[in-house]
Structure 1
């Protein structure tokens, strides 16, 4: 995630879980993205755990691959869910993999985690073993050739293995409809403008993943949508999460948003301002995540 919205897979391109990155951004940019990924993991921990608990595995997997792992939100949720498993965490950002390794050491699970730096848009993938479960959260839509990547995963999986694709419904929302007071509905207008940006730069976001999975040879074994609604009035992490997310939205809408809206957005993002989003007591996290469970039959 070197740049908040680098068209080529800054896996947080549309949001926190941008996990496929080009790996060439500034150190500060990667650090900022790592921080927002960590906030995503903290704020949405309960919902990520609900997804891992739902996975229709036939037997607990011993080998798991996390594609586009970022700083490890999915990796550690899967380690908790499957205590006998070992995970290969794959990402193209050295900084994110370093942070993931640091977390693994701090949690005492570093012997269960292997990190691999790889650009999954390359035709030749590294050796990732023969996992019984592959997890890809908010990373597949950043692939330049997702259909090819789906076939790679199909061939990678052990027979009977499961592929879990998790995708988000764009950026989360945080503000009430009547906010901010001087420009009510600002967030909605930002999202409309951002959708136009991402339709051009992230064309596979919102793709029909069910048909794509079956076309790649998988059998669909389940689909579930998780609705997220988290009150943030007593959660400092929600404010930081909202700040980081709206900063990324600003990048994609700055050239098209009316001047009055851009000024109002900048007031929200100014942490020294009395209008700062960090000073609001009415924030909520509202979004959806959909998971598709697809099986390799043979």
Structure 2
């Protein structure tokens, strides 16, 4: 725990504009019970621009918040390696004053947790002076286009675009079994339980469109290279829908087919064959339609050439 012996004065950053005062303090004062936070607001120990504010006050730009002396949880300093920062900087596909698009590497987590000390977002926050937040997520095993926002207004714009299905996300995947070369739409609700994501009527609406590109015959198995466009962004959506359709993604350790994956491993595939190839959106800064593309990684390209 860390005890602050004197009041702290914090200037509201981009991503806190519009946030309620109580929610902001809950995020800032880690380890402090919510009842204590509401009490210091109610007693006027928390001040905004030297004045009292209620818990539901919405923060605005340049607000100065006074936080009284209080004991909080100690957070470990996150220091990404020079190698990680170099890799991230070399993976930038597009950047402007409001957003950043990375070509995420397979195996890299977007954020820390579950045994991961540091993820992409923590590493970038240590490097950028301005705030930066994830617009969406990619599974650890998935490579490709990942968007981050450097302004709250940009983050809000992207969230609105995602809600209204105005962001086009295209993926490339290799799946088990040959698939006829026509568009296959999987419209099946996905429910996330404590262990994984499943098709369940009590889940959220989820829609994926699979476009087979090429079929492969090998030994007693077959496979299809497919392009996937998703209308929604549920956890593990493509992987769950592919399994549901009888075409699990190659080397999927959670939803895959063991015998198929063993054959893929023998042929040299050592990772999940799922890549976020492109993303199309309205750039909140320029207000223009923009497309960013991430080329298929060399290891996946080389594996396809062997089939």
Task: Give TM-score scaled by structure 1 length.
Answer: 0.27
Which structure is larger by alpha-carbon Rg, 1 or 2? 2
Q: In proportion to residue count, which structure has more helix?
A: 1
For CA contacts below 8 A with separation 6 or more, give which structure has more relative contact order: 1
Task: Give TM-score scaled by structure 2 length.
Answer: 0.26
